[in-house]
Amino acid sequence: MPLSPPAAAHDALRSTGIQAARIGALWNLTLIVCALVFAAVLVAVLVALARAPRGNRDTPAEAGRAAMPRDARARRFVVGATVVSVLLLVGLTTADVLTDRALSRLPAANPLRIEMTGAQWWWQASYAADGGQAGFVVANELHVPVGRPVIVSLKAADVIHTFWVPNLHGKKDMLPGIDSTIEFRADEPGIYRGQCAEFCGTEHALMAMYVTADAPAQYARWAAHQRANAAPPASPLALRGQHLFEAADCAQCHAVRGTSAGGQIGPDLTHLMSRRTIAAGTLVNERTNLEAWLRDPQHFKPGTSMPAAHFSSTDLDAVVTWLTTLN
């Protein structure tokens, strides 16, 4: 059973968006300055050790610090080093402030707006109406058009979470009862992995997301597909699976547009099979894993609120068959 999610970029040192590039530049500057300071301190220590007077058992003890001669050159060196240190700290602080101001000034003409809610332990993304087209809801995976600003409104459903897609931007906390936003722009097509960066409970490590940056035309096709209702079952077995799903507790937690399932507790499953993973990046999204997840979600994600499906083997096969038609 394949358990590993698909490969995706997750590298704070590889910027693929203007916001991440500015953060990367600040990091590089800080690293260079700190490395030079460390090297200078190390050289000073080595020089001091090399020039220190050597003694033996017959060398008299020092009479005390007050009796030691003052070294004007050493004093000038210490004062100079102090001044340089202050200037470097002021420079880094200035660079930090300028970077923060630049991050808040991303051109936001015609932005794509998404409301992202973090919950234990998954993500819900509600796309706002865009260009006269209705909004829609997805889970754990975002698609954004390359080159277009994205404004994400951040909310927390339970505890503190942190939205972090390192290739595109820095971290932003999601606090219960307090709304905030993060803005980014993907400048290169690709798949970028995100992660909750604030410990939020037992399965914090299994709360990942994927952001796919598509060419504008490709994104438009994806969004049009996500707005559509689920396709009707194409076989008697799939139809039976839909009826079983709607009659069970599944429909109280999950929504499938175009059916009577309208739950709001768990992820929207309308286009489940269009996603690369299930359980917030825990498992590759394919039939074998989907069936195993339904049988015993606690095996893969202990503590999850998803209960085990109490279906017979025959009924479970029908439900999974229907779910795999939700493309």
pLDDT digits (tens, 9 = 90+) for 254-268: 999 999 999 999 999
Cβ contacts of 276 within 8 Å, gap of 6 or more:
5, 6, 141, 191, 210, 284, 285
| Backbone dihedral angles phi then psi of residue 271, each to the nearest 5 degrees | -125, 50
In a shared domain, residues 31 and 160: yes
Nearest of 299, 310, 308 to residue 203 by alpha carbon: 299
Specify if 91 maps to a domain.
no
Specify if 55 maps to a domain.
no
Residue-wise pLDDT for 289-324, tens only, equals: 999 999 999 999 999 989 998 899 999 999 999 999
3-state DSSP assignment of residue 4: coil
The Cα 155–Cα 45 span in angstroms is 50
Contact by Cβ (8 Å): 319, 309: yes
Specify if 93 maps to a domain.
no
Q: Is the dihedral of CA 327, 125, 279, 190 positive or negative?
A: positive
The Cα 162–Cα 180 span in angstroms is 11
The Cα 177–Cα 181 span in angstroms is 13
Within a 10 A sphere around the Cβ of 8, how many other Cβ atoms? 20
Which of 224, 248, 267 is the C-terminal boundary of a domain?
224
In a shared domain, residues 168 and 206: yes
In a shared domain, residues 124 and 259: no
- Residue 248 lies in domain: 236-323
The Cα 264–Cα 254 span in angstroms is 6
The Cα 277–Cα 292 span in angstroms is 13
Q: What is the pLDDT of residue 53?
A: 73
Contact by Cβ (8 Å): 129, 135: yes
In a shared domain, residues 253 and 302: yes
Q: What is the pLDDT of residue 279?
A: 93
Q: What is the DSSP letter of 129?
A: P
Q: Tell me, what CATH number does 160's domain have? A: 2.60.40.420
The DSSP element (H or E) to which 73 belongs, if any, is helix 72-103
Domain count, the chain: 2
Specify if 18 maps to a domain.
yes
Q: What is the pLDDT of residue 73?
A: 77
Q: What is the pLDDT of residue 203?
A: 93
In a shared domain, residues 177 and 251: no
Residues of the chain with pLDDT under 70: 1-7, 61-70
Q: What is the DSSP letter of 60?
A: P
In a shared domain, residues 13 and 157: yes
In a shared domain, residues 139 and 255: no
In a shared domain, residues 120 and 157: yes
In a shared domain, residues 172 and 207: yes
Specify if 84 maps to a domain.
no
**pTM confidence score:** 0.81
The DSSP element (H or E) to which 292 belongs, if any, is helix 287-295
Contact by Cβ (8 Å): 134, 227: yes
Q: What is the pLDDT of residue 3?
A: 46
Specify if 180 maps to a domain.
yes
Nearest of 145, 182, 142, 135 to residue 163 by alpha carbon: 182
The Cα 18–Cα 24 span in angstroms is 10
Which of 224, 257, 284 is the C-terminal boundary of a domain?
224
In a shared domain, residues 242 and 214: no
Specify if 122 maps to a domain.
yes
Q: How many CA atoms lie within 13 A of 271 on its CB side?
A: 18
Given 3-state DSSP classes, what are the helix, strand and coil percentages for the chain, each rounded to the nearest 5? 40, 20, 40
Which of 190, 224, 258 is the C-terminal boundary of a domain?
224
First to last CA, the chain: 21
Tokens 């754990």 label which residue?
140
In a shared domain, residues 108 and 202: yes
Specify if 63 maps to a domain.
no
In a shared domain, residues 219 and 241: no
